[in-house]
Amino acid sequence: MTSRSKKEWREKSLGPALQRLPERRDDFATESGLDLDAVYTPEDLEEVGFDYERDLGNPGEYPYTRGVQANMYRGRLWTMRQYSGYATAKESNQRYHYLLGQGQTGLSVAFDLPTQIGYDSDHPLAQGEVGKVGVPISHLGDMEDLLEGIPLDRVSTSMTINATASVLLCLYMAVARKRGIPQTEISGTLQNDILKEYIARGTYIYPPRPSMRLVVDVFKYCSANVPKWNTISVSGYHMREAGATAVQELAFTFANAIEYVQAAVDAGLDVDDVAGRVSFFFVAHNNLFEEAAKFRAARRIWARIMKERFGAREPRSMMLRFHTQTAGVTLTAQQLDNNVVRTTVQALSAVLGGTQSLHVNSRDEALALPSEESVQLSLRTQQILAHESGIADVVDPLGGSYFVESLTHRLEKAALEYIERIDGLGGAVAALERGYQMREIHESAFRHQMETEEGRRTVVGVNRYVTEEQPVKGLLRVDQEAAQQQVARLERVRQERDTQAAKADLDRLEDVARSHDSTVEAILECVESYCTLGEICDVFRGVFGEQREMAGV
């Protein structure tokens, strides 16, 4: 179809068709605001400068647009994780065993808010938050309970933790040591992405620059001692949850990743020793094709950044490996069953986009922590996609689509323009210190909210197709008694430990924090002496100071 004939077709056929569908908007665009044509042809690929060899290629080959493995899911299905943690370490452990028994293939640990921001469960600021949005971990005994009966040398564990990431990693390693499992045999992923906390999520403790030092300390230690551990999972998820578009999610995630890799190189690490253990964490939203194209664009962007910007030599350094979680922000309290449909579409986009692991949110998470029944349904969603849908049978089934390839290219171009602007501000840290990323996200979130409130964006069951709601039954409730048990145990640990040894290790940690030495070994000694998470973080607070809230206005 030539450009002229395409234009004529649009005027003769598409115009009248739209007039017959007044309930549809006439400004078709993706959630990122990229305009959409009604039909795509080879000419659209020519317009965006698409080159098959340069931009697509074969699966398992640079620039990895079509996937990081030649056979993708034919060789191995994505890892099925369900993000979980609540009440106490023992109760969370029971949930993990249940999920593994249902066919989950990796653990994904959610920590409660006090643990995320470096407070023990008995701290005054922890009151009312213990065990509510994740599992409370205050000391080595808690971590032992959390991992009881889990074969750490056979199960990969993802820990969503940032400001206190190095402490939680040391607790995990200490459990393995007590069981006689070598550090070389444990595998998993530490989120350890502090920059997005300042941009979008808020669970930071210290100022950005000393926080970056703790991140790099983990890089150094794991590079030498824990070869199977992914030392960072650079996250776009939380920025998107805060209101970023798909383009901003890509751009801000990769700008942060550039900052981390550069910090590691500046600290003397070889780029190929670092990049192969950098993983990513993206969200899957409702717009099926934009999300699938986003994941494909992400692989190409990262491959080119690593090769062209950092001079990486190893293919693994250029391979973007990522975990995907469906979008919590899209879940509605109204008509809960609609959330099952939403998350299925989102999960489908992640698999079509070539994710390495996946978490599907549960239908009731807009109201409470997911019930066991809801979690099982979420896991079954993944299993049905894997074994019944056929989408895992073909590598990159959307590859070559005029529409998808054009959209992939446009997402890449728009994201790179953002990265160039951030470079011009001095990089991700300098930009966030000026509030740049926060302002951009706030503006996008505001536009999205206005579109919803004004009815220009349909949310089924919320602003259209509304029905009378019935009370929801069977929601999971966290008993306050669980928090009391957690605090009582914490008090016993403090009483029963070797107080002098704990104090000596905390003093040594302070000395290390004031030097330029790596902090990980000193943290590991502290946790093995049953120093608490709060005590360790208080040492860093005393040396580094605390970060005040950052605003993007």
- Cβ atoms within 10 Å of 35's Cβ, excluding its own: 9
Whether 21 has a pLDDT exceeding 80, the answer reads: no
Which of the residue ranges 160-174, 368-382, 510-524 would you say has the lowest mean pLDDT?
A: 368-382
Look at residue 416 in the predicted model and tell me its pLDDT. Answer: 98
Look at residue 24 in the predicted model and tell me its pLDDT. Answer: 53
Whether 109 has a pLDDT exceeding 60, the answer reads: yes
Q: Which residues contact 236 (CB under 8 A, 6 or more apart)?
A: 196, 244, 249, 250, 252, 253, 280, 281, 282, 283
- Model confidence at 551, pLDDT cuts 50, 70, 90, reads low
**Structural domains for the chain:** 55-453 (3.20.20.240)
Whether 93 has a pLDDT exceeding 80, the answer reads: yes
**How many residues belong to the chain?**
553
Whether 4 has a pLDDT exceeding 60, the answer reads: no
Structural contact between residues 63 and 372, judged by C-beta atoms closer than 8 angstroms: no
Q: What is each CA distance from 75 to 71, 359, 395, in whole angstroms? A: 6, 20, 10
Whether 462 has a pLDDT exceeding 90, the answer reads: yes
Q: Supply the Cα-derived Rg of the chain in whole angstroms.
A: 24
Q: Would residue 396 be called left, alpha or beta, if left means φ above 0 and alpha means ψ between -120 and 50 degrees?
A: left
Look at residue 475 in the predicted model and tell me its pLDDT. Answer: 80
User: In this predicted model, what pLDDT tens digit does every residue of 250-296 receive, in sequence order?
Assistant: 999 999 999 999 999 999 999 999 999 999 999 999 999 999 999 99
Does this model's pTM top 0.75? My answer is yes
Can you point out the beta strands (E) in 247-371? Answer: 278-284, 322-326, 357-359
Whether 469 has a pLDDT exceeding 90, the answer reads: no
Average pLDDT of span 518-537: 98
On average, the pLDDT of the chain sits at 93
Q: 276: which DSSP letter? A: T
Reduced 3-state DSSP string for 183-231: HHHCCEEECCCCHHHHHHHCCCCCCHHHHHHHHHHHHHHHHHHCCCEEC
Look at residue 22 in the predicted model and tell me its pLDDT. Answer: 47
Q: What is each CA distance from 12 to 7, 74, 231, 256, 403, in whole angstroms? A: 9, 44, 56, 47, 21
User: In this predicted model, what pLDDT tens digit does every residue of 181-224 receive, in sequence order?
Assistant: 999 999 999 999 999 999 999 999 999 999 999 999 999 999 99
User: In this predicted model, what pLDDT tens digit does every residue of 372-429 receive, in sequence order?
Assistant: 899 899 999 999 999 999 999 999 999 999 999 999 999 999 999 999 999 999 999 9
Q: Is the dihedral of CA 371, 346, 383, 64 positive or negative?
A: negative
Please state, in angstroms and rounded to a whole number, the distance separating the CA atoms of residues 323 and 132. Answer: 24
Please state, in angstroms and rounded to a whole number, the distance separating the CA atoms of residues 421 and 202. Answer: 24
User: In this predicted model, what pLDDT tens digit does every residue of 365-376 receive, in sequence order?
Assistant: 999 888 889 989
Please state, in angstroms and rounded to a whole number, the distance separating the CA atoms of residues 259 and 212. Answer: 9
Task: Give SS3 for 255.
Answer: helix
- Model confidence at 130, pLDDT cuts 50, 70, 90, reads very high
Task: Encode 450-477: b = buried (16+ Cβ within 10 Å), e = exposed.
Answer: ebeeeeebebebebeeeeeeeeeeeebe
Whether 25 has a pLDDT exceeding 60, the answer reads: no
Q: Which residues contact 196 (CB under 8 A, 6 or more apart)?
A: 162, 234, 235, 236, 238, 239, 252, 253, 256
Please state, in angstroms and rounded to a whole number, the distance separating the CA atoms of residues 427 and 421. Answer: 9
Please state, in angstroms and rounded to a whole number, the distance separating the CA atoms of residues 496 and 549. Answer: 37
